[in-house]
Amino acid sequence: MAFNSKFGTEDVSPYQVHSRREIVSLLRAMHERNQLVSMQADGGADAVVTSVLDVDEEAGLVVIDRAPSNLLNQRLLDSDNVSFETVLDNIRIMFFADKVGECLYDNLPALYIAIPSNLIRLQRREHFRVPTPVASPLRCTIQIPPDDNGTGGTSVVVTLKDISGGGIGVVDEKKLLDNTIGRVYKDCRIDLPSSGPVVCTLQVRNSHDLQLSTGKSIRKLGCMFVDLPKPMVAAVQRYITKLERERNAKATGLN
């Protein structure tokens, strides 16, 4: 499976793991630690918190816990591009499947995928990206400076898809932003609930276009914080901690 659909123009090939022994070891570590795994179909907005129930190396299968909703499970079964993401020892782990099947595990319905032929082990990233709420989306206002003639300055409001201590993923529905890798936007503003605004400088790190089922094309950008002041870092981390607690409570049925 190609990784461009997930990472756009960002080159992740140096971080791919091809050793089957290492891949199985990482999957088993997820299972043994009961690690929460984010599961997503077709890069859509619905990220499901799941876990690895079993790794059967002889059969070449990974058993995954089902989504809480039948609709989400059907989307996963119908998809040919399902992504999984977690963190082990502060290292971001991602893998993909082009087919998801149904099975029984301990006499309960579950899902399964083939053991991936490779996965991504992003040692370079110390920050885990957390999906932002779909029901109450966060907004980021990005300032576009005027041109050399002093005209054309404006601001663009985009929706956050995810956030980490190192940056954000945004959806630019109208493709108004310059998505050149390395492009820097200053004086951007993210409105975090209960934390107030975070004013920051963002640098575009990756970009890819996504075709929706309606036929509409949107653009997703991955942006890195540049020299984020410590008070802003603290505000972002508090918000991420809040999101993680809510996700964990939901996953364990405590909310």
pTM: 0.52
How far apart are the C-alpha atoms of 143 and 156, rounded to whole Å? 7
Strand-pair category, 61-64 with 108-114:
antiparallel
* Secondary-structure breakdown of the chain: helix, strand, coil percentages, each rounded to the nearest 5: 20, 45, 35
Buried b / exposed e over 215-229, threshold 16 CB at 10 Å, is eeeebbbbbbbeebe
Give the chain's domains with CATH numbers: 4-122 (2.30.110.10), 130-251 (2.40.10.220)
CB 223 within 8 A of CB 204: yes
Find where tokens 């997503």 sit.
40
Task: Tell me the torsion sign for CA atoms 204, 8, 71, 29.
Answer: negative
Task: Tell me the torsion sign for CA atoms 100, 102, 105, 110.
Answer: positive
Residue-by-residue pLDDT tens, the chain, 255 positions: 444 344 544 456 667 888 999 999 999 999 999 888 989 888 666 678 899 999 999 999 999 999 888 988 999 999 999 999 988 876 788 999 999 999 999 999 999 999 999 998 875 444 567 888 888 889 999 998 887 776 767 899 999 998 888 899 999 999 999 999 999 999 999 988 877 789 999 999 888 888 777 778 889 999 999 999 988 988 888 888 888 777 666 655 554
